[in-house]
């Protein structure tokens, strides 16, 4: 079935066509029908399968049709998300799909001045996409009124639980109507998520995509065994071999992100970082530069991974293997999104082999090993553009040459002449 065959508003169909949406993905095909009927949905779908559009398209269509006959009377749909970046990107998706329909969408998050957000709320919002903190701040200040809410969407529910938002999800129930539609989306499922889901949905349609393979089928993934101190040289080589590629590099900590950025800079490669220590405006600027191709290399931490919903990412590099196996799925899911193909490469040191084993157990299959022979390994380290490494290599070479020279002791005094007997 193609999108043009659905009973959507003609304008929404035109927007979908202009965005390159032709046929629905599996999650879209299975979710759109029940959502249009007003049913609750519990959907488990891996990252990159198109789940944002799965709920955005039918909700926009419903609200746009409703606005033609009913005067605006408050927020109709609330989408709860774990991060600021995700709130921004989901709002962008809603805006693109609903362009020209008159549906007003607002992304609400902390880290920025609230005055502009309050101004938009006062002038009327139909769909609110929000992180919990700023939303509850504005509810308590009386700027957010959810008494006319018709649909609640909990997106990235597993990540929301990981970040400690369980109480926020349950608290929101006190502010919204008991009679409502609830859509619950998560990339993974476990007992905690099941318990939360069934506490807020009623007689939900359950949808689960690729339950036996959590890694998107559009992604080819491989692992290379590289020592921790050598990873920067292989990162440099990969970037230089694919200079036009859009690459996201994942590291374990904020400090590591900055160190990798500096290592690439020493090798003459420009990159930018995104992590929790950056101001919101800086994070938005970095993401925008990456999206527009002003910068093709983004270094990120796991906290940022869910908010990076950018098309045409060619490579995801796990510079550090994640300590939580589920995060491997979320990281590599930044590539191969929708119908696009993607590549995921992991650098694994001796210290990380147990992490690799946990990842393989979680995804249910071994990760293909990229074999690097000794000659290629040494060549990669030798031909770096890192001036620091070159300086060390020069010193080591000089030291090695000096050690090979024969030691000749100094001569003390004049040698004695041999006399005749």
Tell me whether residue 395 is in a domain. no
Same domain, 71 and 204: yes
Tell me whether residue 329 is in a domain. yes
Single residue among 208, 237, 268 that ends a domain in this structure: 208
Burial (Cβ within 10 Å: 0-12, 13-18, ≥19) of residue 178:
exposed
34-90 residue pLDDT tens:
999 999 999 998 777 889 999 999 999 999 999 888 777 899 999 999 988 889 889
Same domain, 129 and 7: yes
pLDDT of residue 401: 54
Same domain, 245 and 173: no
pTM of the model: 0.70
pLDDT of residue 394: 47
Tell me whether residue 410 is in a domain. no
Tell me whether residue 387 is in a domain. no
Asked if residue 233 lies in contact with residue 386, where contact means CB atoms within 8 angstroms, the answer is yes
Same domain, 11 and 87: yes
Same domain, 189 and 120: yes
Tell me whether residue 230 is in a domain. yes
Number of domains composing the chain: 2
Same domain, 191 and 335: no
Tell me whether residue 284 is in a domain. yes
Tell me whether residue 40 is in a domain. yes
Nearest to 298 by CA among 245, 338, 219: 245
Same domain, 64 and 146: yes
Same domain, 169 and 263: no
What is the domain extent for residue 328?
219-382
Same domain, 324 and 356: yes
Nearest to 80 by CA among 164, 140, 167, 156: 156
Tell me whether residue 421 is in a domain. no
Single residue among 164, 183, 208 that ends a domain in this structure: 208
CATH number of the domain within which 353 lies: 3.40.50.300
pLDDT of residue 216: 65
Single residue among 146, 178, 208 that ends a domain in this structure: 208
pLDDT of residue 266: 92
Residue 14 CB partners (closer than 8 Å, separation 6+): none
Nearest to 93 by CA among 36, 34, 158, 21: 21
* 101-to-63, 66, 124, 128, 242 alpha-carbon distances in Å: 9, 11, 15, 16, 41
Same domain, 196 and 265: no
pLDDT of residue 338: 65
Same domain, 113 and 151: yes
Task: Provide the β-strand partners of residue 249.
Answer: 299, 317
Residue stretches of the chain with pLDDT short of 70? 210-216, 304-307, 338-339, 387-421
Same domain, 355 and 228: yes
């Amino acid at each position: 079935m193609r999108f043009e065959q659905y009973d959507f508003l003609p304008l929404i169909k035109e927007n979908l066509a202009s965005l390159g949406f032709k046929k629905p993905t599996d999650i879209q095909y299975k979710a759109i029908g029940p959502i249009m009927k007003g049913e609750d949905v519990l959907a488990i779908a891996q990252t990159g399968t198109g789940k944002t559009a799965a709920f955005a398209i039918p909700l926009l269509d419903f609200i746009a049709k409703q606005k033609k006959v009913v005067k605006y009377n408050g927020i109709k749909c609330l989408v709860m998300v774990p991060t600021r970046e995700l709130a921004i990107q989901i709002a962008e998706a809603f805006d693109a799909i609903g362009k020209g329909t008159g549906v007003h969408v607002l992304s609400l998050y902390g880290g920025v001045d609230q005055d502009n957000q309050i101004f938009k709320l006062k002038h009327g919002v139909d769909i609110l996409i929000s992180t919990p903190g700023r939303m509850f701040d504005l509810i308590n200040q009386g700027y957010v009124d959810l008494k006319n809410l018709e649909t609640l969407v909990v997106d990235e529910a597993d990540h929301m639980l990981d970040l400690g938002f369980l109480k926020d999800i349950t608290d929101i129930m006190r502010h919204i109507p008991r009679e409502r539609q609830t859509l619950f989306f998560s990339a993974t499922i476990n007992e905690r998520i099941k318990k939360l889901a069934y506490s807020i949905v009623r007689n939900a349609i359950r949808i689960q995509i690729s339950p036996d393979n959590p890694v998107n089928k559009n992604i080819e993934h491989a692992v290379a065994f590289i020592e921790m101190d050598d990873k920067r040289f292989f990162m440099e080589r990969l970037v230089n071999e694919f200079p036009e590629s859009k690459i996201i590099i994942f590291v374990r900590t904020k400090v590591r992100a900055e160190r990798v950025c500096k290592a690439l800079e020493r090798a003459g490669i420009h990159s930018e970082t995104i992590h929790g220590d950056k101001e919101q405006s800086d994070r938005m600027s970095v993401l925008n530069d990456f999206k527009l191709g002003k910068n093709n290399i983004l270094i990120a931490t796991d906290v940022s991974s869910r908010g990076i919903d950018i098309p045409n990412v060619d490579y995801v590099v796990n510079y550090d293997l994640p300590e939580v196996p589920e995060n491997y799925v979320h990281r590599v899911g930044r590539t191969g999104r929708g119908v696009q193909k993607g590549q995921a490469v992991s650098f694994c040191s001796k210290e990380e082999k147990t992490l690799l084993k946990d990842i393989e157990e979680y995804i249910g299959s071994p990760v293909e090993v990229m074999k690097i022979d000794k000659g290629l390994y040494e060549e990669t380290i030798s031909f770096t553009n890192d001036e620091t490494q070159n300086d060390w290599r020069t010193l080591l070479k000089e030291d090695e040459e000096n050690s090979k020279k024969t030691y000749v002791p100094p001569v003390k005094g004049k040698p004695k002449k041999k006399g005749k007997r």
